[in-house]
Amino acid sequence: MSVKEWLKERFPIDYEKFVEINENIFIKEPIPLHMKKWLLAMGTTPFILLPMQIITGILLAFYFVPSPEMAYESVRYITEEVQLGFWIRGFHHWGANLMIISIFLHMMRVFFTHAYRKPREINWIVGFILLFLVLTISFTGYSLTYNQLSYWAATVGTNLVKETPLIGGFLVNMLRGGESVTANTLTRFYTLHVWLLPLLITLMIVIHIIVLRVHGISEPEGYDKGYYPFYPSHFNKIIIVTLFLISLISLLTVILPPGLGQPADPMNTPLHIKPEWYFFSVFLFLKLVPIKLGILLIGLIVLIMIFWPFIEPLTSKKEDRRAIINYVLGGTAILILIAFTILETISL
C-alpha cells in the first residue's frame, strides 16, 4: 500500500472536491484590475509581516527573561552573544515599524478611495482596532528591552493612560500592577506582548479577511473595471513583496541596528524622555494643551475616525461634496501628523 493510499484510507475525504474548492477559493479567486497597482495593494503587507514577527518573536522568547534583574542582560546576550541574535532582534524591531507604516498607508488608501463605504463599514472598524492593537504591541515590546529610555517611556505612557477620564485609574493599575513601573509591569507587558495581543491581532486579521471575502474588494473610481485570477499574477506579487520585505528589513538591521542603551535606573530620570516615533505626534500635541483636554480631544478624534463610514453620509447629500470633504479632512490630518512627528523628532 502506498503512502497516498494509506492517507486516503485514514482521511476519507473527496480529494477532487477538495482541489476544486481550493481552486475556486484561492487559485481562481477574482482580483479587481486596480490591484495590479502596487500602492493599491498595501493591505497584503501587514499580512505578510505578521508571521515574520511571530517567528522572530518566538526565537527572541527562547532567550528573553521578563524580570527587572535579567531583562536588559538577556537583550544584551541576544544582541551580542547569540548566533544571529542581532539579526533576529533587528528583524523583529524593524518588522514592527514597517507593520505600523504599512497599516497607516493601507488605511490612507482605503480612506481616500472611499473603500469604507456601505457595506464595508465593519472592515473599516476592524482595521482601526488592528491599528490600535499593533501600536499597543509595539509599545509593550519597546518597554521589554528595559533600558533607561524604554523604562521611562513606559512610565510616561502609563501616566498618560492614568489621565483617561473615568477608567484611567483602573487601566493604569491593570497595566502596571502597582503605583509605578515594577517587576509586575514587566510581567504584564510580557504577557500582553507574547500572548494576548498576538492572539487578538490574528483574530482581527481573520475577521478582516472573512468580511473582505464576503463583500469582495472595493473597486475605486477612475480605474479599469474587470478581474484577473489570484494565481499566478497576484500570487507572484505577494512572493516579490515578501522577498523585498525580507531584504529591506535585513538591510535596515545591518545599517541601523537597534541599540542597547543604558540599563533602566528608576532613581535617575533622563533629561529628555520620548516615546517611539509613531507616538511623536500625540506626544507633542499633549505637550501643547492641558493633558486631560488633550486626551479628551484625541479620544473624540479617534471615535470620529472609527465611525466615519456612518458620519460621512451626514456631511452632505451630494457625492462630489462629500468627496471634497474627505480629501480636505484626510489631507489636513496627514499633514498635521507628519508636521508634528517631524517637529518632535528635531526637538531636544
CB 253 within 8 A of CB 87: yes
Query: What pLDDT sits at residue 134?
Result: 96
Dump pLDDT digits (tens) for 45-54: 998 999 999 9
Q: What mean pLDDT is predicted for residues 187-212? A: 93
Question: Is 171 found in the same domain as 137?
Answer: yes
Question: Is 256 found in the same domain as 294?
Answer: no
Question: Is 130 found in the same domain as 90?
Answer: yes
Distance CA 92, CA 185 (A): 22
**The three grid cell numbers given for residue 149, joined into one nine-digit string:** 529610555
Within-domain flag for 269: no
Dump pLDDT digits (tens) for 126-185: 999 999 999 999 999 999 999 998 999 899 889 888 888 888 889 899 989 888 888 999
Question: Is 93 found in the same domain as 49?
Answer: yes
Q: What mean pLDDT is predicted for residues 80-103? A: 95
Q: Is the pLDDT of residue 232 over 70?
A: yes
Query: What pLDDT sits at residue 61?
Result: 95
Q: Within 13 Å, how many C-alpha atoms sit on residue 297's CB side? A: 10
Query: What pLDDT sits at residue 305?
Result: 94
Q: What mean pLDDT is predicted for residues 321-347? A: 93
Q: What mean pLDDT is predicted for residues 327-342? A: 95
> Alpha-carbon torsion 33, 38, 42, 47, what sign?
positive
Distance CA 280, CA 52 (A): 26
Query: What pLDDT sits at residue 66?
Result: 93
Cβ burial, residue 75 (10 Å; 0-12/13-18/19+):
buried
Alpha helices in 163-219 (DSSP H): 168-176, 183-191, 197-215
Report the percentage of the chain scoring pLDDT > 70: 99
Question: Is 317 found in the same domain as 251?
Answer: no
Q: What is the domain-level CATH number for residue 181?
A: 1.20.810.10
Within-domain flag for 168: yes
Dump pLDDT digits (tens) for 200-214: 999 999 999 889 888
What range does the domain containing 348 cover?
287-348
Tell me the pLDDT band of 348, cut-offs 50, 70 and 90: low
Within-domain flag for 330: yes
Q: What mean pLDDT is predicted for residues 283-292? A: 91
CB 98 within 8 A of CB 245: yes
Q: What mean pLDDT is predicted for residues 245-274? A: 91
CA angle centred on 190, ends 301 and 175, rounded to 5°: 50
From 59-63, 221-225, 281-285, the region with the lowest mean pLDDT:
221-225
Question: Is 224 found in the same domain as 315?
Answer: no
Distance CA 161, CA 169 (A): 8
Question: Is 176 found in the same domain as 85?
Answer: yes
Within-domain flag for 200: yes
End-to-end alpha carbon distance in the chain = 74
CB 326 within 8 A of CB 111: yes
Distance CA 124, CA 107 (A): 8
Query: What pLDDT sits at residue 144?
Result: 93
Domain boundary among 232, 264, 296: 264
Question: Is 198 found in the same domain as 58?
Answer: yes
Report the percentage of the chain scoring pLDDT > 90: 60
Q: How many domains is the chain built from?
A: 2
Q: Is the pLDDT of residue 253 over 90?
A: yes
Query: What pLDDT sits at residue 91?
Result: 97
Q: Which residue has the higher pLDDT, 26 or 341?
A: 341
CB 99 within 8 A of CB 42: no
For residue 227, what is the enclosing H or E element? strand 227-229
Omega cis (within 30) before 51: no
Tell me the pLDDT band of 3, cut-offs 50, 70 and 90: confident
Distance CA 42, CA 244 (A): 13
Q: What is the 3-state secondary structure (H, E, C) of 87-145?
A: HHHHHHHHHHHHHHHHHHHHHHHHHHCCCCCCCCHHHHHHHHHHHHHHHHHHHHHHHHC
Domain boundary among 226, 249, 264: 264
Instruction: With H, G, I as helix, E, B as strand and everything else as coil, classify residue 146.
Output: coil
Query: What pLDDT sits at residue 288?
Result: 93
Which amino acid makes up residue 48? I
Within-domain flag for 275: no
Q: Is the pLDDT of residue 72 over 80?
A: yes
Q: What is the 3-state secondary structure (H, E, C) of 15-61?
A: HHHHHHHHHHHHHCCEEEHHHHCHHHHCCHHHHHHHHHHHHHHHHHH
Within-domain flag for 274: no
DSSP secondary structure letter of residue 225: -
Confidence (pTM): 0.91
